[in-house]
Structure 1
Amino acid sequence: MTSKSVASLRTSAVIAAFAALAALNGAAQAENKAVTYKGKAVRIGNGSAHTVVHTDASGKPHAIGIVFTSDALEGLPAAGDAGHSDVPYVLPMPVKGPKTVVDHAVINWEPGGHPPPKVYDVPHFDFHFYLIDPAERASIRFTSENESGEPSQQPPRELLPEGYVIPPGTAVPEMGVHAINTASAEFQGQPFNATFIYGYYNQRLTFLEPMASLEFLKSKPNFSAPVIRPARYNKQGTYPSSYTIDYNAASKIYEVGLRDLQ
């Protein structure tokens, strides 16, 4: 082998080494970059909605959300339409990315609202983030909506956030019983805009639920509020310390987010 050939091989080896180093650096940078993972889009109204998981630079999830286009608020079933007192839209979580405590999400469109009267009886959306799978959710049954007030449906005190109560009349099949924060603005004589609900079944936490009125969403808010957390959770994982409802004027999309996961 000539000296020229040896030099050429050395040059090729150096180039290959630099290429490998660049690839490693690129992979490291990709790993150290915040990423948003998206779930499959579902048709809602005249638009669409999907779930998201936002990760930080280390790859850990810091927020879970439901994203929907502004036209999803149009073309929805009306309150007078037969069979449309509650319209569910099931959203799968992203296939890729880290797993969270949320198994799937459901947007429930309430065209005529629901009880209690003069509180939640306005057109609004219930954004359910379920900690259980669809089969378990489908198996939830009650003999009466007032079953939520019975001792068998009252969770241990440490699973219920301070200020929250589960009154009679909040047991809903394929959902669970609903815990409300009696200190929320809508229970202090103010109009219902947005609130945060916890859901349970057989004394276990089964869903996290931001709610927002249609009127509030159409105001294109940039809203954030703390989430009152229970002393413990029955499912291991990270849970939100705040929730947000944001409208992006440039992209014309909304995001309802569970944020500051801890």
Structure 2
Amino acid sequence: MKISGRRARWSLLGLACGTTALIGLAPMVSALGTPATGPATRAAGAGAAEDGGDLPALTLFNKVSLGDGFVQTLYATDDTNHPKVLAVKVDAAAMKTLPTTPTNDGQTCFDKDNNGIDLETDCASGHERDLWFPKLPGLPFQWMMFDWQRNGHGPSHVFDKPHFDFHFFMQDFTERNKIRTGPCNLVINCDDEKTAMKPVPEQFMPPGWGMPGAAGRMGNHIIDPNAAPANGGPFTQAFAYGTWDGHVTYWEPVVNKDWITTEKPAKACQPITQAPEVETTGYYPTQMCTRYSTAGDVTFTLENFTSRTAPDNA
């Protein structure tokens, strides 16, 4: 699909893969009636019990459309109102109608050939939804960049299968939007790629982590090259740290959609490899989990939060 000015047309490749209704190729509208792109969409819902049997009752905070269903952010706190669980739920209706054509929804693109944006070749981030989290005491994460990647992305044989990206951003939403798209790496401005690739001080990253590269409107991604799927092991769920200008800016679980729908894990958890130090004092998760309910909903969580204190030189 190409976009040129205000006119758009479907490419033959896009039509061959099927069709999905898009509204102006813009972010979908939240269930609260406002675009899910800023604080105006923040509205904590009433306590919403989650059907994951071992989870505490989760409170709905933000909800946006995806396919014929919704993506939601939810949370639970301890007795002192500190974070206990952060969750992202993709309901059964959305799981059954995930957008397939075009591959990308046009939010992270760059016209490489100056002939109109091709949604199959000039874009990244798949189908993106931006959601918010409450301002809990000590919670470093402000908002969520959710991506449904129909065809996956590079590196080859690592993340090139259909999957979900969950960017739990600590970086301010406005500052994230200043990371420009361009012709380098994964649709990123070449000067901004250099900023994204600045090394993070050793104490703030797990030892030995590296790969796979920078992307527009995101920053760099760093993973464990000795863990699956980077080491050739099966791609089920993995974890990445995001960086920008020498700082960790987001935490990112990456989860294989086919694994979810085939294995239907009632509960699949793995520890999150921690850096020796954090730059900001707060409560940080030590475990990530994926749960598939009997109703077909999928809930992704960050759990087992622990208090960490930043060093004086952070």
With normalisation by structure 1, the TM-score equals 0.77
Query: CA–CA distance in 2 between the matches of 1:52 and 1:99?
Result: 17
Structure 1 residue 192 and structure 2 residue 232: aligned?
A: no
Which residue in the other structure is 1:161 paired with?
A: 206
2:292 alignment partner, one of 233, 237, 247: 247
What is the CA deviation profile of residues 217-251 of structure 1, one whole-angstrom value per residue up to 9, with x for unaligned ones? 213212100011001122331111111111222x5
Question: Quick check: which has more Rg, 1 or 2?
Answer: 1
Structure 1 residue 101 and structure 2 residue 137: aligned?
A: no
What pairs with 1:105-184 in structure 2 (closer than 5 Å)?
Answer: 105-141=144-180, 144-145=184-185, 153-167=198-212, 170-184=213-227
* Distance verdict in 2 for CA 1:184–1:60, change over 3 Å: same
> How far 1:176 moved relative to its partner?
0.8
Question: Structure 1: where are the runs of 5+ without partners?
Answer: 1-33
Query: CA–CA distance in 2 between the matches of 1:256 and 1:131?
Result: 18
1:209 alignment partner, one of 246, 252, 255: 252
> How far 1:99 moved relative to its partner?
6.2
Which residue in the other structure is 2:272 paired with?
A: 227
Query: CA–CA distance in 2 between the matches of 1:152 and 1:192?
Result: 25
Which residue in the other structure is 1:261 paired with?
A: 305
Which residue in the other structure is 1:65 paired with?
A: 87
SS at match of 1:89: strand
Query: CA–CA distance in 1 between the matches of 2:196 and 2:218?
Result: 18
> How far 1:58 moved relative to its partner?
3.6
Query: CA–CA distance in 1 between the matches of 2:101 and 2:134?
Result: 32
Question: Structure 2: where are the runs of 5+ without partners?
Answer: 1-55, 104-117, 307-314
Q: Which amino acid aligns with 2:258?
A: E
Count of aligned pairs: 225
Higher helix fraction: Structure 1 or Structure 2? 1
Query: CA–CA distance in 1 between the matches of 2:274 and 2:281?
Result: 14
> How far 1:105 moved relative to its partner?
0.4
SS at match of 2:275: coil
Q: Which amino acid aligns with 1:83?
A: L
With normalisation by structure 2, the TM-score equals 0.65
> How far 1:66 moved relative to its partner?
0.7
SS at match of 1:41: strand
> Cα RMSD between the aligned structures?
2.4
Identical aligned pairs, as a percentage?
Answer: 26
1:42 alignment partner, one of 64, 81, 91: 64
Structure 1 residue 75 and structure 2 residue 119: aligned?
A: no
* Distance verdict in 2 for CA 1:80–1:35, change over 3 Å: closer
Deviation larger for 40-49 or 223-232:
40-49
Tell me, yes or no, if the aligned pair for 1:35 and 1:56 is still in contact at 8 Å. Answer: no
Runs of 4+ in 1 over 4 A off after TM superposition: 79-82, 146-152
Deviation larger for 186-195 or 128-137:
186-195
Tell me, yes or no, if the aligned pair for 2:87 and 2:302 is still in contact at 8 Å. Answer: yes
What pairs with 1:10-29 in structure 2 (closer than 5 Å)?
Answer: none
> How far 1:98 moved relative to its partner?
4.8
Deviation larger for 222-231 or 72-81:
72-81
SS at match of 2:93: helix
SS at match of 1:40: strand
Tell me, yes or no, if the aligned pair for 1:35 and 1:55 is still in contact at 8 Å. Answer: no
What is the CA deviation profile of residues 105-156 of structure 1, one whole-angstrom value per residue up to 9, with x for unaligned ones? 0111111110011221111110111112221110113762287688961111
Query: CA–CA distance in 1 between the matches of 2:233 and 2:252?
Result: 20
Query: CA–CA distance in 2 between the matches of 1:195 and 1:152?
Result: 21
Tell me, yes or no, if the aligned pair for 2:134 and 2:142 is still in contact at 8 Å. Answer: no
